[in-house]
Amino acid sequence: MSWSVLSTWKMSLEGCRIAAQQLAKGATAADALVAGIENVEDNPKFCSVGFGGLPARDGHVYLDGGFMDGDTLRFGAVGSIEGFRSPIRIARSLSAYKFNNFLVGQGAEAYAKAHGFEARDNRTSKSQARWEAEKDHAQDLVSYDGHDTVCFLTRDDAGTSCAGVSTSGLFLKEPGRVGDSPVIGSGFYADSEIGSAAATGVGEEIMKGALSHTAVLYMKAGFTAQQAAERAVLELDAALTRRNGSCNAISLIAMDRDGKFGVGTNIVFPFVYASDTQEPTLYLAQRDGMRTVYEAVTDIDSVVQD
Question: Which C-beta is closer to ligand ASP: that of 162 or that of 170?
Answer: 170
Measured between alpha carbons, how far is 291 from 232 in angstroms, rounded to an integer? 11
Question: Which C-beta is closer to ligand ASP: that of 27 or that of 61?
Answer: 61
CB of 167 to ligand ASP, least distance (A): 5
CB of 13 to ligand ASP, least distance (A): 17
CB of 72 to ligand ASP, least distance (A): 25
The catalytic position among 28, 149, 154, 160 is 149
Distances (CA, A) of 151 to 56, 162, 196, 207, 221: 21, 11, 11, 16, 24
CB of 210 to ligand ASP, least distance (A): 13
Question: Which C-beta is closer to ligand ASP: that of 23 or that of 229?
Answer: 229
Question: Which C-beta is closer to ligand ASP: that of 180 or that of 230?
Answer: 180
The answer to whether residue 167 is catalytic is no
Binding positions for ligand ASP, rule: CB under 6 A: 147-149, 167, 169-170, 179-181, 200-203
CB of 278 to ligand ASP, least distance (A): 25
Half-sphere exposure of 146 (CA within 13 A, CB side): 17
Question: Which C-beta is closer to ligand ASP: that of 27 or that of 150?
Answer: 150
Active site residues: 149
